[in-house]
Amino acid sequence: MTERLTLDKLSDNPASEADFEEVQEYVGQVIPQVPYNEAATRDTIRHFALGLGDDNPLWSNLEYAKKTQFGDLAVPPTFILSHNNACASMGLERMLRLGSYWDISWSERVNCGDELTSTSTLIEPELINRHRGGFVIKQNAETVYKNQKGVEVARAVCGTMRIPKRGTGGAGYSLREHSYTPEDIAKIEANILAEVVRGDEPRYADEVTVGDTLQPIVKGPLTDMDSACWFAGYNIVSLGGPPLEIRVRSRAAEYMNIWADQWDGHVDPNFASEMGMPGAWMSGPAVYSWMCQLLTNWCGDDGFVERLTAAIRKPSVVGDTIWYRGTVTRVEGRTVFFDLRGDNQVGERVITGQASVLLPQR
């Protein structure tokens, strides 16, 4: 039996006012980040796209990309998260860190060959009152991304939920499993094969009408391999830290202690259950990036994703399948606006979003 997953299901050991006072002390602090992909090279771009499960030829087929305006591989918008995932946080070491909200605005394209730098600064946190009593803390940060010329290419605000760890009930969910019939799998495969990438056929704003729907994309049934492939392109270190011998030589005890709960939760369902999660959970940046793929499929090679704001409502875990859908809500000149959503196999809304895309002129 699948349990409904809601924010109200959080632990009976919620955040305290003292916890909130602690995180408020960190406001304004710049949090050091260690980039995984420092540059957008042909390899890092291709590895990120393939790890995302996005085989758009613009990201991975050099011969195709050379014939476009870019003259080389183009860069997926959310590639910047493989440089810095924007989930900066500090303190509350008794609590998990779960990225739950991203609001990213892109001002310039990241091009193949660009070198990236970024700065993450903690901003005012939020103390969220749960319906059944108690509070949960969302620690917020703003990250600015620049290229090698010092030009700002994107700006992100990210919210990280701080959830109690083992022994406290954690996120408050029960371990769940989902089985699929052969008919279920056949339908999912049909959805995957029906996915459309607009590609080199321009989409113009005057072709778009309010109420238009985007061709859905589906991710799943999610497996451990999906998670491993994502981390390989996004940030393999964040899956399990550096190899043991490097941790020992650097005496990086924090890799074994502070962050251990984060890593194991992505690969071990029993460990995840101890954290009160419904299973080994998927990376939040992946769930967000899949929503962005819905947009890049739709807008074609010449479209530009200007902004994507999305909130993760419920955990997505190994065994789940997520359908991403979108609807045009308005058109202003060359800019098209959308409402977006992702629902799992039992009809739960796992992510919601709003976006804007700039389309080419005739």
CATH code where residue 347 lies = 3.10.129.10
Cβ distance 307 to 353 under 8 Å?
Answer: no
From its phi and psi, is residue 113 left (phi > 0), alpha (psi between -120 and 50) or beta? left
Instruction: From residue 155, give the alpha-carbon distance in Å to each of 32, 118, 133.
Output: 17, 9, 34
Any domain includes 1:
no
Any domain includes 2:
no
Cα distance between residue 60 and residue 361, in whole Å:
26
Domain total of the chain: 1
Give pLDDT, residue 242. 67
DSSP string, 192-226: HHT----TTS---GGG--TT-BPPPEEE-S--HHH
Q: Quick: pLDDT tens for 178-216.
A: 899 999 999 999 999 999 999 999 999 999 999 999 999
Give the SS3 label for residue 280.
coil
Give pLDDT, residue 255. 47
The backbone torsions φ and ψ at residue 336, rounded to the nearest 5 degrees and listed phi first, read: -115, 135
DSSP string, 141-185: EEEEEE-TTS-EEEEEEEEEEEEE-TTTTTT-PPP------HHHH
Give pLDDT, residue 270. 82
Cβ distance 137 to 16 under 8 Å?
Answer: no
Cα distance between residue 271 and residue 280, in whole Å:
8
Give pLDDT, residue 149. 98
Report how many helices (DSSP H) and strands (DSSP E) the chain contains, helices first: 12, 10
Give pLDDT, residue 344. 96
Cα distance between residue 232 and residue 239, in whole Å:
9
Cβ distance 169 to 273 under 8 Å?
Answer: no
Residues 6+ apart with CB under 8 A from 65: 57, 58, 59, 71, 72, 73, 74
| pLDDT one digit per residue (tens) for the chain, 362 residues | 223 233 334 444 567 778 888 999 999 999 988 899 999 999 999 999 999 999 999 999 999 999 999 999 999 999 999 999 999 988 887 788 889 999 999 999 999 999 999 999 999 999 887 654 457 889 999 999 999 999 999 999 999 988 776 554 556 677 788 899 999 999 999 999 999 999 999 999 999 999 999 999 999 999 999 999 999 999 987 776 666 676 667 665 554 444 555 677 888 888 788 777 889 999 999 999 999 999 999 999 999 999 999 999 999 999 999 999 999 999 999 999 999 999 999 999 999 999 999 999 88
Give pLDDT, residue 178. 86
Cα distance between residue 288 and residue 355, in whole Å:
12
Using the structure block, give the residue that is written with the tokens 């859908």.
325
Cα distance between residue 37 and residue 80, in whole Å:
8
pTM reported for the whole predicted model: 0.92
Any domain includes 269:
yes
Q: Please give the residue range of the domain that contains residue 301.
A: 7-358
Cα distance between residue 225 and residue 184, in whole Å:
20
